[in-house]
């Protein structure tokens, strides 16, 4: 019998409810405490008393259940409970005060969800728990959000560092599922932690403001080291012909090479031209396995790949040449599509990818995501 077991139950203590925390979560824990003490029937009221429990046993159960509830309430919350209330009345009163379905309470809970923000560098698991608590509290007052809306609200609550993640996970989709978004967020954070310190880095050099030497190669053919802006004046001159009386953009030799390369084929990739830039692009990587990654290069006119085995569909044909930053042409030997798996597990297809084998001598693999295909934000 339930009454015979009460004396043998050891007290189970949970955190006291102070009126500021999650009442729904506290109520769930409190119910589990009463179950462990075999007192859970008391919160249902005497009308639902099991037939095998006598009136004397019920009164004893009711007193112990109310006592257990009050011991888990802070002083300011206990003031809402009258001393002569039974367990069910106490339970219902707490629900009315802290989980009421009034308009003011609904507004408060909605504001709590809509204003929820994760701080930069904050704990992801804590933030996801707070988000789920907000949704659960609203559900208790009959405020329901579609799964798609909940997923969007969660994405909205993430810090600015998740901007690229939000763009990627929403691209090409008409709806989202909360569980999938939560799983993708956690995978994204884990992958970011595992790859921190070994990511490839891309640099874009522009005109006189770039912080490296004007000469891309020294006389021995080695790559020039980066130099500070203060030493830049020592290396003035054209690094195409070596003359010091003009820049590369004014060099006749460079202009002739450029014109010839563009005339070979109208489909050749054009270099960047502007009054402030010499059109060079520099890709630098500290990773030892850079050939496994795509390098995002804003100067490319289309996607390019050196590894033929990576193509999902492939058509071997002559498609012209690509003019590199050092004016050397690279022949395009084919065109096709390449499948890439994103960090969230979604497989994307890059169409019209050019096969340029000689890129292995420059960059192992690099591609440019044009805004007509994917929106790239920096």
Determine, yes or no, domain membership for 364.
no
* Model confidence pLDDT, tens digit, residues 30-65: 999 999 999 999 999 999 889 999 999 999 999 999
* Model confidence pLDDT, tens digit, residues 186-196: 888 887 766 55
For residue 270, give the nearest of 225, 220, 324, 229 by alpha carbon: 324
Task: Choose between 233 and 263: higher pLDDT.
Answer: 263
Q: What is the domain extent for residue 52?
A: 2-98
Torsion sign over Cα 245, 249, 254, 259: negative
Q: Do 27 and 54 fall into the same domain?
A: yes
- Classify the phi-psi angles of 201: left when phi > 0, otherwise alpha if psi is within -120 to 50, otherwise beta: beta
**Final residue of a structural domain among 66, 98, 130:** 98
Torsion sign over Cα 195, 196, 197, 199: positive
pTM greater than the 0.85 cutoff: no
Q: What's the number of domains the chain is made of?
A: 3
For residue 364, give the nearest of 289, 286, 280, 265 by alpha carbon: 289
Q: Do 93 and 109 fall into the same domain?
A: no
Q: Do 176 and 215 fall into the same domain?
A: no
Q: Do 69 and 24 fall into the same domain?
A: yes
Q: Do 212 and 175 fall into the same domain?
A: no
Q: Do 38 and 125 fall into the same domain?
A: no
For residue 74, give the nearest of 94, 92, 103 by alpha carbon: 94
Determine, yes or no, domain membership for 153.
yes
Residue 114: pLDDT band (50, 70, 90) is very high
Q: Which tokens go with 237?
A: 């001159």
Give CA–CA dist 336/139, Å, rounded: 50
Q: Do 110 and 53 fall into the same domain?
A: no
Q: Do 230 and 188 fall into the same domain?
A: no
Determine, yes or no, domain membership for 294.
no
Question: How much is the average pLDDT of 315-336?
Answer: 80
Determine, yes or no, domain membership for 349.
no
Q: Do 208 and 248 fall into the same domain?
A: yes
Q: Is the pLDDT of residue 158 over 50?
A: yes
Q: Do 49 and 86 fall into the same domain?
A: yes
The whole-chain average pLDDT of the chain stands at 73
Confirm if 265 and 320 have CB atoms less than 8 A apart.
yes
Give CA–CA dist 113/132, Å, rounded: 9
Strand partners, 269: 322
Q: Do 56 and 34 fall into the same domain?
A: yes
Q: Is the pLDDT of residue 128 over 70?
A: yes
Confirm if 9 and 37 have CB atoms less than 8 A apart.
yes
């Amino acid at each position: 019998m339930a009454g015979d077991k009460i004396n043998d139950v050891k007290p189970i203590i949970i955190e006291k409810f102070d009126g500021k925390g999650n009442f729904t979560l506290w109520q769930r824990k409190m119910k589990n405490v009463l179950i462990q003490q075999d007192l859970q029937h008391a919160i249902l009221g005497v009308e639902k008393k099991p037939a095998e429990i006598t009136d004397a046993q019920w009164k004893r159960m009711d007193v112990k259940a109310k006592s257990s509830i009050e011991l888990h309430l802070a002083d300011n919350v206990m003031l809402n409970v009258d001393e002569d209330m039974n367990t069910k009345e106490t339970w219902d009163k707490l629900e009315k005060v802290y989980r009421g379905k009034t308009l003011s309470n609904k507004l408060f809970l909605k504001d709590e969800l809509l204003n929820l923000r994760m701080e930069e560098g904050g704990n992801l698991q804590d933030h996801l728990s707070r988000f789920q608590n907000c949704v659960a509290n609203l559900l208790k007052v009959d405020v329901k959000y579609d799964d798609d809306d909940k997923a969007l609200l969660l994405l909205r609550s993430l810090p600015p560092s998740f901007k690229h993640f939000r763009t990627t996970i929403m691209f090409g989709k008409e709806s989202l599922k909360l569980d999938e978004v939560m799983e993708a967020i956690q995978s994204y954070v884990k992958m970011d932690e595992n790859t921190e310190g070994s990511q490839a880095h891309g640099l874009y050099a522009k005109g006189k403001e770039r912080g490296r030497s004007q000469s891309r190669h020294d006389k021995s053919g080695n790559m020039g080291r980066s130099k500070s802006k203060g030493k830049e004046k020592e290396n003035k001159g054209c690094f195409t012909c070596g003359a010091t009386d003009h820049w590369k953009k004014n060099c006749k030799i460079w202009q002739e090479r450029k014109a010839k390369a563009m005339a070979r084929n109208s489909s050749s990739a054009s270099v960047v031209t502007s009054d402030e830039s010499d059109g060079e692009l520099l890709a630098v990587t500290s990773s030892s396995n850079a050939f496994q990654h795509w390098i995002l290069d804003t100067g490319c006119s289309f996607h390019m790949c050196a590894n033929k085995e990576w193509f999902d569909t492939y058509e071997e044909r002559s498609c012209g040449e690509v003019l590199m930053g050092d004016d050397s042409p690279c022949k395009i030997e084919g065109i096709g599509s390449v499948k890439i798996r994103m960090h969230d597990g979604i497989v994307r297809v890059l169409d019209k990818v050019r096969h340029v084998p000689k890129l292995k001598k420059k960059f192992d693999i690099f591609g440019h995501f044009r805004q007509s295909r994917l929106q790239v934000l920096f």
